[in-house]
Structure 1
Amino acid sequence: MRVLVTNDDGIDSPGLHRLAKLAVEAGLDVLVAAPDVEYSGSSAALTAMADGGRLALRERSLPGVGAERVLAVEATPGFIVFAGVRGAFGKRPDLVLSGINRGPNTGTAILHSGTVGATLTGATHGLPGLAVSLAAPDPDEWDTAEEAARRALAWLLDNPVGPVVVNVNVPNVPLDRLKGLRPARLASFGAVQAEVGETGEGFVTLTFSEIDEDPAPGSDVALLRQGWATVTALRAPCEAGDLELPGLDDA
C-alpha cells in the first residue's frame, strides 16, 4: 500500500518525521511530500508557488526514516494531496497521513486546519486518511503522540472504511499518563477563540486565547482535557440531501 505523508508545520517538523517512520514500520510504501515552510491554518487551500507554471519542489532526505522518497514542496498541504492523487509525485497513493501537528485540531475549528484539510482533500478523491495532532503549541511528548498514531493507523489498516478521515488528538502528557484512546464528538468550538482587538486606519488586530468555558461531555475537547487521546471520524464535504429548498425551484 502506498501512503502520502504530509503536514502543515513543514518538512522539518519532528512530528512529520515520526509519522513517516511509523508508516514505514507498518510496512507501507511511504512518500513524504510536505510544505517547505509552515502552512498552519491553511485548511484545504489550493495554493502553491509556481516557477514558469511549474510546481516548485526539492528532493530531500530524512535520515533514519526510511521513506522511499522525500519532497519539500512549495505549496499548502491541501494542494500537495490534490497534486499527489493526480500522480504528480509518482503512483497515486492509497492513503493520506497528516501530522503529527503542533497544537490540537479539535471541534468545528478543524475547518481551518491544514493538517485535517490535507486528509479531507484526499477523502474527496476517495482516499482514507489519518490526521494526528499533539495538543500543545510547543509540545515535547512526541512518544505519546507516536504511540497513539501507531494504534490509530493499525486500526485504519485493519478496518477498510472507505474515504473517511480519522482525526486523532493527543494530550501532551508522558505515555504512562495517557488514559488511552476514545471516540469523541466534535466540540462546538475549537481549543482557542479569536477576538477583535485594536482597529485603526487600514488595519485590524486579532487576539487568540484559550477558551475557558466547559466543553460538552464526550466531546473531543472535554476528553482531551481529561487525558484521553480522542478519535473522531470525519467525512469530506457533502450535500445536505435531506434539506428541501422550497421556492428556489423554477422548474
Structure 2
Amino acid sequence: MRVLITNDDGITSPGLAILAHVAADAGHEVLVAPPNREYSGYSAGLNGEQGDDGNLLRTEGRPPGLRADIEAFGVHASPALIAYAAGMGGLGPRPDLVLSGINLGPNVGPAILHSGTVGAALSAAAQGIPAVAFSSTGREIEHPETATAVVTEAFRWVTSHPQDGRVLNINMPDIPMAQLRGLRTAVPARFTLEDGERDRQVQRLLFQPFSADAVTFEPETDAGLLTRGWATATLLRSHTHDESAATMPGFQTQEA
C-alpha cells in the first residue's frame, strides 16, 4: 500500500515523521510531501505554484527526525491541493491512503471547518482515497510516544475497516503516555460567542496551546474529552448532500 503523508504546518513540522514511521513500520511504501511553508487555516483551498512543465513546484527538504529511507520533499501548494494532485497521479503513483498532520494544535468543534490538515484529508476522500487527519494539543509535540501510540491505533483501524468515503479526524492530548486515558469516539464541540470574554477564550483555544480551563465544553464532545486526557476520533464526510432535508421549492424557465 502506498501512503501519502502531508500537513498544513509545513515541512519543518515534527509530526510528519511520526506518521511516516508508523506507516513505514507497518510495511507500506511512504511518500512525505507536505507544503513548503505553513498553510494553517486554508481548509480545502486549492492554492499552489506550477513550474514550466505544469507540475507543482517542489523544494528539497526533509522533516526533522525522518528516517533516511523514506522519500520526502516539499511542495509549493496548499495541503488540499497536494492531496488532490497526488490523487491525480501528480506526485507519483496514486496513494492508497492519505495521512494528514500531526497538526500543532487541536482541530475540534467548528475549527474543523477551517483546518488545512482536515482539508487535505477531505480532498483525498472526495477522490475516493481513505484519509485520516491528526492533530495534537501541543505546539512542539513534547510527548511523541503518546502521539505514536494514538497514531498506531488509528492506522490499524483505518487499514482494517472498509471505507465509505468518511474521514477520520483524530485529536490527541500532548501528555505523558501514563496520563493518556485512551481513544474514544466523539462528536464535535459547539463554540458559542456569548460575550467578549468568551470570544477571547475561543481565540486562546484556536491559536494558543489547548488548556482545560480555556472553555467549558459538553463532556462527551471532542473538546470536552480532550481536556480530560482522552484522544478523540470523529468521522467526517466530504462533499455530500443532506438526504434527510426537505425538498426546497423550485421553478423552471420553460415548459417541460
- TM-score using structure 2 length: 0.85
Instruction: Describe the superposition over 1:35-87 as per-residue Cα deviations: whole angstroms up to 9, x where unpaired.
Output: 01111111011000233454211344566525552121010000000100000
Q: Find the counterpart in structure 1 of residue 150 from structure 2.
A: 148
Percent pairwise identity: 42
Q: Find the counterpart in structure 1 of residue 225 from structure 2.
A: 223
How does 1:106-117 map onto structure 2 within 5 Å? 106-117=108-119
Q: Find the counterpart in structure 2 of residue 33 from structure 1.
A: 33
Return closer, same or farther for 1:98/1:246 CA change in 2, 3 Å cut-off. closer
By percentage of residues, which structure has more strand?
Answer: 1
Q: Is residue 9–residue 101 contact of structure 1 (8 Å, CA) maintained in 2?
A: yes
Q: CA deviation at 1:100?
A: 0.9
Aligned residues: 239
Q: Find the counterpart in structure 2 of residue 208 from structure 1.
A: 203
For 1:54 and 1:24, locate their aligned partners in 2 and report how far apart those are by CA, in whole Å.
27
The two structures, once aligned, show a CA RMSD in angstroms of: 2.4
Q: What's the secondary structure of 2:159's corresponding residue?
A: helix
Q: CA deviation at 1:212?
A: 4.4
Q: Find the counterpart in structure 1 of residue 209 from structure 2.
A: none
Q: Find the counterpart in structure 1 of residue 59 from structure 2.
A: 58
Q: Is residue 103–residue 139 contact of structure 1 (8 Å, CA) maintained in 2?
A: no
Q: Is residue 35–residue 75 contact of structure 1 (8 Å, CA) maintained in 2?
A: yes
Q: Is residue 106–residue 187 contact of structure 1 (8 Å, CA) maintained in 2?
A: yes
Return closer, same or farther for 1:67/1:130 CA change in 2, 3 Å cut-off. farther
Q: Is residue 127–residue 164 contact of structure 1 (8 Å, CA) maintained in 2?
A: no
For 1:246 and 1:114, locate their aligned partners in 2 and report how far apart those are by CA, in whole Å.
32
Q: Is residue 127–residue 162 contact of structure 1 (8 Å, CA) maintained in 2?
A: no
One-letter amino acid of the structure 1 residue matched with residue 24 of structure 2: V
Of 145, 159, 162 in structure 1, the residue corresponding to residue 161 of structure 2 is: 159
Greater Cα shift, 138-147 or 221-230: 138-147
- Structure 1 consecutive aligned stretches of length 4 or more whose deviation exceeds 4 Å: 61-64
- TM-score using structure 1 length: 0.87
Q: CA deviation at 1:231?
A: 0.7
Q: Find the counterpart in structure 2 of residue 42 from structure 1.
A: 42
